[in-house]
Amino acid sequence: MSYPTLAVVAASSYLMGSIPFGYILVRLFQGIDVRSIGSGNIGATNVARTGGKKLAIVTLLLDAFKGWLPVFLVLHIPCVHKGSVTELHTLATLAALAAVLGHMFPVWLGFKGGKGVATGLGVFLALAPLAVLIAVALFAVVVAFTRYVSLGSIVAAAAFPVALWWLERDAFPPAALALCAAVALLVIVRHHQNIGRLLAGTESRFGARKA
């Protein structure tokens, strides 16, 4: 892989991932800054706190799509890369990391973005759908038993690289697996406030009424 190819893929994937759909949709349809509501996050969960549940669903889908698209393009456009399958997967996981970083640190909003769950879901779907099914199943089980969406997201993020290694370690070289683990770690680290509240027993449960 040439350095220009790496640079172009990383930059374009970052820019795709940095599109702040939650901010744009809430500003466009409700006339408010979603960063002034709730957690100040631009993701779907905080968009829902504005009362825009439909906007939250659209935000979730678009945030996932902007992660899925750059990885899909790397994997399926022949002109992007003509090397081996392992090199292609490494380039695709670089695109995945850049897209998630774009969502978390968008240049358009002063590098203050979301937690990367939906965008991470999108990049992982493009990379390894079967491993995503395992992670999503764990998410559903955790949320069903605890009603903590944040805990489910953390567990799912941690589970994906493990599932990827278990299912497709022959197709993904160590560098690609490391990049996937880095994406998962970033998502978990961005939940540091939720982790603190979980440990303190003050995290909000899904469906719970606020006082």
Could you tell me which of 13, 207, 38 has the C-alpha nearest to residue 114?
A: 38
pLDDT tens, residue by residue, 150-162: 999 999 999 999 9
Q: 19 Cβ partners below 8 Å, 6+ apart?
A: 62, 66, 102, 106, 108
Q: Give mean pLDDT, residues 169-180.
A: 91
Q: What is the mean pLDDT of residues 49-74?
A: 93
Q: Is the pLDDT of residue 208 over 50?
A: yes
Predicted TM-score (pTM) of the model is 0.91
Confidence (pLDDT) at 83:
62
SS3 state of residue 83: coil
Convert the pLDDT of each residue in 106-139 to its tens digit.
999 999 999 999 999 999 999 999 999 999 999 9
- What integer is the mean pLDDT of 46-52? 85
193 Cβ neighbours under 8 A, 6+ residues apart: 39
Give 3-state DSSP helix, strand, coil % of the chain, rounded to 5: 75, 0, 25
Kindly tell me if the per-residue pLDDT of 211 is higher than 50: no
Q: Burial of 79 by CB count in 10 Å (0-12 exposed, 13-18 middle, 19+ buried)? A: exposed
Q: What pLDDT does residue 69 have?
A: 97
- DSSP track, 144-157: HHH--HHHHHHHHH
**What CA–CA distance (Å, rounded) separates 139 from 153?**
6
pLDDT at residue number 204: 84
